[in-house]
């Protein structure tokens, strides 16, 4: 077995190559924010320390030059991992068979827009849930620019607690900068965040790790409802908006199937507030009825007659709605391939924006 530093360097090289190929897909604002956080991670800076802008700027220039060098190689392929005779960069099973005894987890796959994603991290928890093996990781030795907080492939769910914790830190900072942020400040109040933000961040990370697990279990339930053709459709979509719409539909179905019903059953008010504080982008555009149910629940206050049922009924209705929409998108794809799915997603977005009557 190689040392951790040698292995981490090999994984990081593949992460950097993936970033070199796909970083340009991010908007400029998102790219700069992600690069700042990537700098903070690479330098091991505390989450409450604001990086020096000049130092970050110089680091970005150096890092972009490194990406150009990687992408400009004659054969810029993903290198095998230095384990034994060499393990293919996408062979998770072979890598983890050797790394498990070291308390490490290796993950590799394709993220949104078929972007390769790699990570080498320390395993902190492993549990069985609904027929899946749920692995929670901590410190990350190698990672990419824009990492997902959680993924599920096959019978494995991976939750990256360090990525979650760093993102939560930015949300807590936002709650201080925007004290009127809907849902977010309600979550902060429910979490009883005081001056000891570091301790609060640890508590919140533990709570939201469970929320991520519930979402990934919901993704698995959604996959069972939709069948294998859903993933086949995702892989065949050739424009970003259609893929964003498809993923938003499945995310909403997963959360109305698993996450929100469970949080309501457990009366996890802070996590419910936080979920709706992050109902943004395409999901927020497509689900105004779900937000309306939340507002009725929030405005009624804890223990008010009918407050929980108002949100529960909205979640149940939305579960059926998004299951129907997902199946309708699948039908459009079956009938017209990528063009059919693209037409369906465009009509759905236009209807949500009030630009045309719903189909």
What does the pLDDT average to over 103-131? Answer: 92
Among 159, 190, 218, where does a domain finish?
A: 159
Say yes or no: 145 and 183 in one domain: no
Residue 322 is assigned to a structural domain of this protein: yes
Q: Using the structure block, give the residue that is written with the tokens 């990537």.
A: 38
Are the C-beta atoms of 166 and 173 separated by less than 8 Å? no
Residue 155 is assigned to a structural domain of this protein: yes
Quick: pLDDT tens for 34-78. Answer: 999 999 999 998 887 888 999 999 999 999 999 999 888 867 789
Say yes or no: 258 and 346 in one domain: yes
319-348: b (≥16 Cβ within 10 Å) or e: bebbbebbeebbebbeeeeeebbbebbbbb
Say yes or no: 89 and 224 in one domain: no
Predicted pLDDT of residue 105: 95
Say yes or no: 89 and 197 in one domain: no
Say yes or no: 77 and 195 in one domain: no
Are the C-beta atoms of 243 and 164 separated by less than 8 Å? no
> Per-residue confidence at 359, pLDDT binned at 50, 70, 90?
very low
Are the C-beta atoms of 106 and 81 separated by less than 8 Å? yes
Predicted pLDDT of residue 304: 67
Residue 167 is assigned to a structural domain of this protein: no
Average pLDDT, the chain: 90
Predicted pLDDT of residue 279: 93
Is pLDDT above 80 for 301? no
Number of neighbours of residue 139 by Cβ within 10 angstroms: 9
Say yes or no: 327 and 196 in one domain: yes
Quick: pLDDT tens for 172-217. Answer: 887 777 665 567 878 888 887 776 778 888 889 999 999 999 999 9
Say yes or no: 138 and 212 in one domain: no
Is pLDDT above 70 for 109? yes
Q: Which two tokens stand for residue 305?
A: 């007659």
Quick: pLDDT tens for 209-218. Answer: 999 999 999 9
Residue 165 is assigned to a structural domain of this protein: no
Q: Using the structure block, give the residue that is written with the tokens 């009883």.
A: 192
235 vs 327, more confident: 327
Share of the chain above pLDDT 70, in %: 95
Read off the pTM: 0.91
Those residues with Cβ within 8 angstroms of residue 268's Cβ, 6 or more apart along the chain or in another chain? 207
Residue 169 is assigned to a structural domain of this protein: no
Mean pLDDT lowest among 45-49, 158-162, 277-281, 333-337: 45-49
What is the count of structural domains for the chain?
2
> Per-residue confidence at 358, pLDDT binned at 50, 70, 90?
very low
Among 124, 159, 194, where does a domain finish?
A: 159
Residue 102 is assigned to a structural domain of this protein: yes
| Beta-sheet strands, E only, within the chain | 104-110, 116-129, 132-142, 150-153, 156-160
Quick: pLDDT tens for 77-88. Answer: 899 999 988 999
What does the pLDDT average to over 225-242? Answer: 92
Residue 221 is assigned to a structural domain of this protein: yes
305 vs 73, more confident: 73
Say yes or no: 195 and 140 in one domain: no
> Per-residue confidence at 154, pLDDT binned at 50, 70, 90?
confident
* Residue-number span of the structural domain to which 54 is assigned: 4-159
Say yes or no: 141 and 183 in one domain: no
Say yes or no: 86 and 211 in one domain: no
Say yes or no: 186 and 153 in one domain: no
Q: Which two tokens stand for residue 30?
A: 């998102």
Among 105, 132, 159, where does a domain finish?
A: 159
Predicted pLDDT of residue 178: 67
What CA–CA distances, in Å, run from 225 to 157, 190, 220, 308?
Answer: 18, 34, 9, 26
Say yes or no: 262 and 116 in one domain: no
Residue 259 is assigned to a structural domain of this protein: yes
Q: How far is CA 344 from the centre of its chain?
A: 24
């Amino acid at each position: 077995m190689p040392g951790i530093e040698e292995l981490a360097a090999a994984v990081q090289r593949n992460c950097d190559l993936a970033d070199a190929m796909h970083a340009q897909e991010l908007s400029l604002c998102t790219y700069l924010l992600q690069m700042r956080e990537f700098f903070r991670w690479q330098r091991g800076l505390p989450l409450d320390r604001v990086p020096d802008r000049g130092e970050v700027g110089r680091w970005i220039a150096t890092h972009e030059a490194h990406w150009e060098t990687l992408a400009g190689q004659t054969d810029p392929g993903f290198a095998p991992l230095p384990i034994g005779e060499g393990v293919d960069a996408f062979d998770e099973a072979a890598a983890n068979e050797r790394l498990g005894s070291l308390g490490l987890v290796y993950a590799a796959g394709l993220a949104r827009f078929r972007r390769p994603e790699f990570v080498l991290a320390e395993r902190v928890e492993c549990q069985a849930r609904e027929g899946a093996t749920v692995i929670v990781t901590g410190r990350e030795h190698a990672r990419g620019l824009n990492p997902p907080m959680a993924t599920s492939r096959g019978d494995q769910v991976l939750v990256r607690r360090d990525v979650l914790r760093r993102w939560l830190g930015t949300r807590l900072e936002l709650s201080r900068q925007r004290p009127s942020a809907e849902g977010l400040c309600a979550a902060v109040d429910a979490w009883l965040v005081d001056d000891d933000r570091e301790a609060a961040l640890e508590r919140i990370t533990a709570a939201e790790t469970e929320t991520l697990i519930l979402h990934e279990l919901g993704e698995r339930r959604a996959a069972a409802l939709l069948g294998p053709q859903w993933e086949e459709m995702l892989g065949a979509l050739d424009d970003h908006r259609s893929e964003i719409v498809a993923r938003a539909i499945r995310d909403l179905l997963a959360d109305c199937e698993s996450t929100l019903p469970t949080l309501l059953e457990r009366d996890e008010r802070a996590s419910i507030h936080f979920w709706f504080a992050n109902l943004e982008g395409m999901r927020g555009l497509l689900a105004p009825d779900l937000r309306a149910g939340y507002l009725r629940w929030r405005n009624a206050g804890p223990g008010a007659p009918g407050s929980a049922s108002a949100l529960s009924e909205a979640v149940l209705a939305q579960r059926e709605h998004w299951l129907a929409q997902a199946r309708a998108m699948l039908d459009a794809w079956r009938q017209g391939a990528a063009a059919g799915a693209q037409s369906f997603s465009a009509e759905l977005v236009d209807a949500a924006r009030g630009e045309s009557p719903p189909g």
